[in-house]
Amino acid sequence: MNKKILYIIFGVALLCLIGFFVYSSQKNLNEDSSLITNSEDVKIDNNQGGRDSSVVNTEKQPPKPIDQNTKDKVFALVERYIKYAENKDIENIKALSYQVSPACKNYTQSEQNKKECDTKLNAAAVIGRELKKDKMVFLWQDKKQIILASDFFFEENDTMISKIRAMVYVVLDSSNNMKILSYNHAKGSVLPKLDFKREDLLKRLTTYTEDKDEDGMEDYLEDCLSSSQDGTCLKTDINNKDSDGDGFWDGIEALFYK
């Protein structure tokens, strides 16, 4: 057998060996991925909630259909608000807001007020651009308020894990006009992994983000269990949107300036 034939046989054998290892590696990778997805009943989405990363959606049931007309109106309001924030259009910001900070309210009275308000407006514009209309799949509303929210999703790296969602809070004034109260592109909880087991981390994230009555405020905060809350925290009913009966939901009222 000449050398040419030997080289051909050797080349074919090498290709087969490489193919076997590629197949085996891909099979192991798929099996590892299935361990994650099967344990959580999750799906991978590369742009959930307006953030560009690999995230995990843990909702087992698809969201109920929402009022598309209301969703469109809320998001149109948010987009106008972002534009005014970017342009430092204080008068129109005031017109679209349910409340404004003291610095923005008295914008022209001092350089310090202007600087502080501009910082808030810059942040509002950046955060607002992270909101994605198509990711907003939950809408809760009544005659006084509207909350628009994305699904929960996870972000995870070697040291941290988070469960967050995007939310928009709107209040209706006495003339039924929508006013921006607040919005957040990443409302939820972030935990260091340390030496905790994954299942323990997921349970803690659920505890810190659950909102049984859908009032826009986590049960954990309604029970005054957060270390960030001081002795003046007043507990609210986690099974009642409006604990004090004043018409405003607990999560809405928590955002009002005191």
Mean pLDDT score, 14-19: 42
In the chain, which residue ranges form alpha helices assigned H by DSSP? 3-40, 68-86, 90-96, 102-105, 111-130, 198-209, 219-222, 250-253
**Residue with more model confidence, 30 or 77:** 77
Q: Give pLDDT, residue 49.
A: 42
CA atoms in the 13 A half-sphere facing the CB of 133 = 12
- Strands 145-150 and 178-192, bridge-based pairing: unpaired
| Entry pTM | 0.77
Which residue type is seen at 81? Y
**Residue with more model confidence, 26 or 153:** 153
Q: How far apart are CA 135 and CA 194, in angstroms?
A: 31
**Residue with more model confidence, 54 or 251:** 251
Q: Give pLDDT, residue 65.
A: 82
Q: How far apart are CA 183 and CA 200, in angstroms?
A: 29
Q: Give pLDDT, residue 116.
A: 97
Q: How far apart are CA 63 and CA 54, in angstroms?
A: 21
H or E stretch at 23? helix 3-40
Q: What is the length of the chain?
A: 258
Is the C-alpha dihedral spanning 84, 90, 95, 100 positive or negative? positive
pLDDT in tens, 195-253: 999 999 999 999 999 999 999 999 999 999 887 878 789 899 999 999 999 999 999 99
The alpha-carbon radius of gyration of the chain (Å, integer) is 25
* Residue from 160, 156, 138, 159 nearest 148 by CA: 138
Q: Token pair of 237, please?
A: 């009913």
Q: Give pLDDT, residue 2.
A: 54
In 41-67, which residue ranges form alpha helices assigned H by DSSP? none
Please answer whether residues 62 and 164 qualify as being in contact, where contact means their C-beta atoms are separated by less than 8 angstroms: no
Q: How far apart are CA 204 and CA 219, in angstroms?
A: 13
Token pair 């269990």 is found at: 225
Domain boundaries, the chain: 3-55, 64-209
172 pLDDT more than 70: yes
pLDDT in tens, 57-98: 555 566 678 899 999 999 999 999 999 999 999 999 999 999
Average pLDDT value for the chain? 82
Please answer whether residues 88 and 121 qualify as being in contact, where contact means their C-beta atoms are separated by less than 8 angstroms: yes
**% of the chain at pLDDT higher than 90:** 70
